[in-house]
Amino acid sequence: MANILVFAESRGGSVRKVAFELLTAARSVAAGGEVHAILAGAPGIAAQASSLSKFGAVAVLVTEHPSLSAYNAESLAALVSDRAKSGGYRAVLFSASAQGKDLAPRVAARLGVPMAADSLSVAFDGDATVVTHYVYAGKIIATLRLAAIPAVVALRPGAIAAVESSGAGRIESIPPVGDPSTSRVQVTESIRGDSRKLDLSDAPVIVSGGRGLKAAEHFKLVEDLAAAFGNAAVGATRAVTDEGWRPHSDQIGQTGRQVSPDLYVAVGISGAIQHLAGMRTSRTIVAINKDKDAPIFKIADYGIVGDVFEVVPALTAAIKEAKAKG
Amino acid sequence: MKIAVCIKRVPEMDVKFRIAPSGVAVDETGLKFDMSDFDGYAVEFALQTTERLGTGEVVVISLGPDVVQETLRKALSMGVARAVHLKADSVPADGFAIAQALAAELKEGGYDLILFGKHAADTASGTVGLMAAELLGIPMVQACTKLSFADGKGTARREVEGGAEIVAFALPAAASIDEGIARPRYPSLKGIMAAKKKPMDVKPAQLGAARLTIMKLALPPERQAGRIIGEGAATVPELVRLLRDEAKVL
């Protein structure tokens, strides 16, 4: 039996999907112990607590403060490490998201323990914790043993599918640790992408474009296909973001985002290993490329050899039609 | 501005790795090693910053066996003033153990800014910089794509899911460097010659206890071999059928 603390991240006043994934993972290792979630944000964030209960949080610990409306690294590190100490948890879980990658090492250092980063799985083995983690550009998978309690683990977004759990949880209010408005690192501006667009880690489908599109304006083909799916985000290769065709934040690969959607459509992407490292765990991969020898075809479940300027518009039309039929 | 940059020596990634007989390391035979890419951006950014200010000093620090001196020497040839080699038999998998050694070295250094790469190319963990900053008790901004300084304060841009954040922080501070900030220069012949005479301070690394260890390395499960289902737009109806009936993703 092991009580687990989960950092339930939110942005713009909403809980992110990764929090539900963490609760699902926590339940799978808790072995009868309780799963607690910590939720922090601007006043009003408490209204989101019930969504965490639905995914199995027996207790949701809510901290509200105006200076927690944006991600507040130092204040959250103090809050989570304090609670981890006083609560006697077996493990503290984070998502390996922009927030979790920043927060988890801070919390671990404050607790004086090592941590496991960007893990694909987590399991307990007595007092030790065993995780798996990609190393060497995704070419090797390492099984790591963490001999410390609490075990601080960051789980890769999408590595574990969120599953609801019945039962209601209690909601407790806990005060911030120190004054969040005096943190030495403060977010002064949040720049939102197009809010209608799904984020790469939230989207069940990702349509991604590579150098085969030849010019920035041809990304419209990729955007149109993503729009036809209706639940798709747009990604890109490093070559494309280096060219400035797409923002750096869209880059999928070893040095960019690592994604595991249900469906990944690679448009004009040759399949350099650095790119494969960011998407090879996708459930189904479709590749469209004019070069039949492109490495992407070695891992694609369904490959079409052809001109992206002909195949992609045809696919967009066909997906629209299929979606219209329901 | 006095800047420290912590760098790591890693193998180049464009190869097929083999697992060593021990099962917990890669076979290093034939591998080429270099500075981890994000660390290179950090070194370049540090050099550009002191060059722009016309004052200050850049120091590089690396932990590991004697071979890391090659990587430190490369940074010196780019224009870094001096290097510190924290000597250890190997680089542990435990980022906290490393952070403790770095913090012990950095503590008395009087640095205004301590830079790291966003993560090392081999382990892709990105924990050491944040942990070291916590141990030093200084502010830290992780994964910066822009970084500037004025009046003893820093401003950074971080890419986050679906957007970006602009972050303000006080100096002295630590930061880790993401792509897009600076492309590392190639060392000039003059730089390479000068690097040979620059100081390299060698000390034992004061590593913490290693509590994160590698149990096993394995090749990831192969995806089912790829399948080309046809050529050209005429194949689209078959693709849609497979996505609907076989993959069940429509």
**Residues A122, A225: one domain?**
no
Strand order in the sheet with A170-173: A170-173, A59-64, A35-41, A4-7, A91-95, A151-155, A115-125, A128-135, A140-146, B212-218
Which residues on neighbouring strands pair with residue B95, listed in sequence order? none
Cβ separation of A305 and B122 shorter than 8 Å? no
How many Å lie between the alpha carbon of B203 and the closest alpha carbon of chain A? 24
| Domain of residue A102, CATH code | 3.40.50.620
- Determine, yes or no, domain membership for B196: yes
Element (H, E) at A66: none
Lowest mean pLDDT, pick from A94-103, A187-196, B161-170, B225-234: A187-196
Q: pLDDT per residue over B104-132, tens digit each?
A: 999 999 999 999 999 999 999 999 999 99
B222 contact partners, CB below 8 Å, separation of at least 6: none
Asked if A285 contacts A248 with a C-beta cutoff of 8 angstroms, the reply is no
A98 close contact with B: CB closer than 8 A: yes
- Determine, yes or no, domain membership for B218: no
- Determine, yes or no, domain membership for A198: no
Q: Which of A71, A192, A319 sits opposite B240 (nearest CB)?
A: A319
**Residues A104, A18: one domain?**
yes
**Residues A177, A259: one domain?**
no
- Determine, yes or no, domain membership for B230: no
Average pLDDT over every residue of B40-46: 98
How many Å lie between the alpha carbon of B94 and the closest alpha carbon of chain A? 6
Q: Which of A99, A184, A311 sits opposite B236 (nearest CB)?
A: A311
**Residues A248, A147: one domain?**
no
- Determine, yes or no, domain membership for A96: yes
**Residues A250, A158: one domain?**
no
Kindly indicate the confidence band of residue B248, based on its pLDDT and cuts at 50, 70 and 90.
confident
Residue of A nearest to B210 (CA): A114
| Domain of residue B79, CATH code | 3.40.50.620
For residue A184, which amino acid is it? R
Kindly indicate the confidence band of residue B76, based on its pLDDT and cuts at 50, 70 and 90.
very high
- What residue has token string 């300084």? B149
**Residues A25, A100: one domain?**
yes
| Domain of residue A320, CATH code | 3.40.50.1220
Kindly indicate the confidence band of residue B220, based on its pLDDT and cuts at 50, 70 and 90.
confident
Tell me the C-alpha distance between A321 and A228, whole Å. Answer: 9
Lowest mean pLDDT, pick from A40-44, A151-155, B31-35, B216-220: B216-220
- Determine, yes or no, domain membership for B68: yes
Residues of chain B in contact with residue A284, where contact means CB-CB under 8 angstroms, are 243, 247, 249
- Cα end-to-end distance, chain B, whole Å: 56
- Determine, yes or no, domain membership for A196: no
- Determine, yes or no, domain membership for B151: yes
- Determine, yes or no, domain membership for A144: yes
pLDDT for position A196: 58
A137 contact partners, CB below 8 Å, separation of at least 6: A254, A273, A274, A277, B13, B121, B124
- Determine, yes or no, domain membership for B129: yes
Higher pLDDT, B226 or B147: B147
Nearest-CA neighbor of A158 among A11, A263, A50?
Answer: A263
- Determine, yes or no, domain membership for A316: yes
Boundaries of domain holding B187: 2-204
- Determine, yes or no, domain membership for A255: yes
- Determine, yes or no, domain membership for A138: yes
**Residues A141, A14: one domain?**
yes
**Residues A161, A270: one domain?**
no
**Residues A241, A136: one domain?**
no
CB pairs A-B closer than 8 Å: 273
> Which of A149, A167, A182 marks a domain boundary?
A182
- Determine, yes or no, domain membership for A197: no
A231 close contact with B: CB closer than 8 A: no
Domain count of the fold of chain B = 1
Alpha-carbon distance values, A41 to A62, A121, A154, A196, A271 (Å) = 8, 28, 20, 22, 40
Residues 250-289 of A with CB under 8 A from B: 251, 254-256, 262-263, 273-274, 280, 283-287
Boundaries of domain holding A17: 4-182
Average pLDDT over every residue of B31-57: 96
- What residue has token string 């991604």? A208
Q: Which of B214, B228, B233 sits opposite A144 (nearest CB)?
A: B214
Residue of A nearest to B231 (CA): A305
pLDDT for position A30: 94
pTM (two decimals) = 0.87
- Determine, yes or no, domain membership for B223: no
How many Å lie between the alpha carbon of A208 and the closest alpha carbon of chain B? 15
Tell me the C-alpha distance between A58 and A52, whole Å. Answer: 9
Q: Where are the alpha helices (DSSP H) in B112-244?
A: 128-136, 189-195, 236-241
**Residues A8, A110: one domain?**
yes
DSSP helix/strand/coil, B110: coil
Asked if A311 contacts A207 with a C-beta cutoff of 8 angstroms, the reply is no
- Long-range pairs for A13-18: beta carbons < 8 A, 24 or more residues apart: A13/A41, A13/A42, A13/A44, A13/A45, A13/A48, A13/A69, A14/A48, A15/A39, A15/A48, A15/A51, A15/A52, A16/A95, A16/A97, A16/A202, A16/B161, A17/A157, A17/A162, A17/A201, A17/A202, A18/A95, A18/A97, A18/A100, A18/A157, A18/A201
pLDDT for position A245: 94
Residues of chain B in contact with residue A236, where contact means CB-CB under 8 angstroms, are none
Asked if B169 contacts A184 with a C-beta cutoff of 8 angstroms, the reply is yes
Q: Which of A184, A190, A314 sits opposite B170 (nearest CB)?
A: A184
A322 close contact with B: CB closer than 8 A: yes
Neighbours of B188 (CB within 10 A): 12
- Best mutation target among B125, B157, B244 (most A Cβ atoms within 10 Å) is B125
Q: In chain A, which stretches have pLDDT less than 50?
A: none
How many Å lie between the alpha carbon of B199 and the closest alpha carbon of chain A? 32
- Determine, yes or no, domain membership for B66: yes
Domain count of the fold of chain A = 2
